[in-house]
Amino acid sequence: MNLNEANYTVYIIDMGREIQGSRFKIWQRDAWGMLYGGENVEIWEIWISDDKDPSDGVFDGWELVGRYRLVQPSNVIEARNEARNGHEYIFYPENPRFTKPFRYVRYKGIKQVGGGNSGCTSEITIYGTEADGSIIEDPETLTGVVEGWE
- The tens digit of pLDDT for each residue in 122-150 reads 899 999 988 887 766 666 655 555 566 54
- The tens digit of pLDDT for each residue in 3-48 reads 445 567 888 899 988 999 999 999 998 877 789 988 899 999 999 9
CB 119 within 8 A of CB 46: no
Give the integer Cα–Cα distance in Å for 12 and 61.
Answer: 14
Show Cβ contacts of residue 130 under 8 Å, excluding neighbours closer than 6 positions: 17, 18, 19, 20, 136
CATH dotted code for 2-130: 2.60.120.260
Domain locations in the chain as residue ranges: 2-130
